[in-house]
Chain A
Amino acid sequence: MLEIKNLHARVGDKPILKGINLSVGEGEIHAIMGPNGSGKSTLSSVLAGHTDYEVTDGEVIYQGENLLEMEPEERARAGIFLSFQYPVEVPGVKNIYLLKSALNAKRAHQGLDEINPVEFLKLVREKLALMKMDEAFLHRNINEGFSGGEKKRNEILQMQLLEPTLGLLDETDSGLDVDALRIVGEGINHLRAENRSFVMVTHYQRLLDHVKPDYVHVLAGGQIRASGDFTLAQRLEKEGYEGLLAEA
């Protein structure tokens, strides 16, 4: 589904990704772990097409197409969803408007008609219940005045609705208390499917206890330094990054 080959990227003059290779198959969950400043958030931003980052080398093939040539919204419509580490506040735009526009943009891309309002509302209510969110939430401005936990739940709610093919979860566990973490974890698990993959970027193991990854990669200095299964995450928890990287 996703092939990353020798990916180099920089922000301004500063190189951050220095040759990433990663292959994600259908239905797989990959966890990217790494110390602060290792480039893990950059990776998800580059995959989503953030304009602050410049790709200097390498390629990314997504479902047989050159991902790097696509505009951010084209990537989104092709099924790539980024759950932001710091979801942006957009005062003046209501959540429900975003949900509806985003869903319809995707449907148009798939050659479907706009969703009818009644069906839309039914669908949204269903997802809200799943994320244990109140309906009043739909009429608030996007992320404005939300707590950290509410913002992250909002991200997963949007993901539920848009049903992406590839979910990029950037530090989704940060800023969540135990209950919120469980709800978010359930939200992600609920989406697990044979044709849907996830790349979860995280510093700690705590989200991985709720969402078991198939593969774990350790990113440091802009490169993947170690790969393995879930036991690698457990080793990291015990030995810390320094210990594990010294060994690698």
Chain B
Amino acid sequence: MSSTDTKVDDLVDRDYAAGFVTDIESDTFPPGLDESVVRAISAKKGEPEWMTQWRLAAFERWKTMTPPDWAHLNIPPIDYQTISYYSAPKNPDDAPKSLDEVDPKLLETYDKLGIPLLEQQMLAGVAVDAVFDSVSVVTTFKDKLKDAGVIFCPLSEAVHSHPELVKNYLGSVVPVEDNYFACLNSAVFSDGSFVYVPKGVRCPMELSTYFRINEQNTGQFERTLIICEDQAHVSYLEGCTAPMRDENQLHAAVVELVALEDAEIKYSTVQNWYPGDEQGKGGIYNFVTKRAECRGARSKVSWTQLETGSAVTWKYPSCVLIGDDSVGEFYSVAVSSKKQQADTGTKMVHVGKNTRSTIISKGISAQQGQNAYRGLVRMGPNAENGRNFTQCDSLLIGDQCGAHTFPYIEAKNPSARVEHEATTSKVSDDQLFYLRQRGISEEDALNMIVNGFCKDVFQKLPMEFAVEAEALLGITLEGAVG
């Protein structure tokens, strides 16, 4: 393995392309969290009183909670009083004036990912007001959505424009007190997306592909709420294959999905946040609570994710299958290298009859990366004929990394069936040699093996995303061999 090790190290020694530092904006709250900060956040956003009260109740609850402690996550204690809980959107004056001012390595990465020039400018933080074209593009799509009856706007806007919907659904899937980070988010959430697809409507486009740039600066406490009425369909894409520029170290997002009868939500995530340097310093801590409720009969929710970034990721997109015949799916590729720690997985809670769930999780660990799958499959007493299949594979590259599997199964219905399988393997020298003997370069061979390993999951991503995901995986492991 020594040859592979050296190469992986080469890869790591490349600095994170997007890791430049910007000055902290002036319009930022001083560090610390108390009731006045929560009130101030709410006031900054001009929120109605009910929203302010909701935040305050969450804050009161949060004060009584203790941070989680898991044997396999090695996190130095976070001092929540040293963090600033509000920063205003960036001042265009501080941004690079053109791509010429941007780190050429970053641009190289964008090129490899095939990101259009316009998006490159936005991702690199080039002042957006210079790009008039994009506005018209965005406006065109907004009109199209409006015609279909789909509401797609920042949550902060929905609080004003659709207060009843927000009141009804916010916190209904992830209760305020659900966990430490969700509770913190409820108190101080910055912004995020609000999606409402009315009855019978199939959303005419993948949401967020063309808007992801606008989704920047939603801050460290993002909050997303998606509601699909009966027979409605939506595909939502979150994140970005391009490295994210972000100076907030702690991220605690909450995502809530509600699917009513025959509704279908497909939620895809590609996350590539700064993982930290060789010592794991400076990387982002990503504690996300994502949960979907399949409330209606025959509703379906699919989570698909590619996780390559963050220093610490703690994320379990889950499905509560309440409606009879509802379906939950989880497809995940998580890559951890350097000193990254990824603790991801899912919960499939089968409540209704004939509910089905599928879990395909692929973990790739390289260098000193630690990858853990933590999952729960629960067949409740009324989950007649419930079915779950879980396949959980780990691929190890190098002898310093780790792969861990913690699947919980709770079965309370005799007609239900749960199957869990897991394997752990390494990229073997034999495999590499075999492919090289056929004339394939070592790097391509590694890519081929890793992509083959992830194929089941990439197939589930929307086409456009899938191509980027494969490219991203290639770049992530670039230099790992020859």
Check A-B contact in the complex, CB < 8 A. Answer: no
Interface residues of B (CB under 8 A from A): none
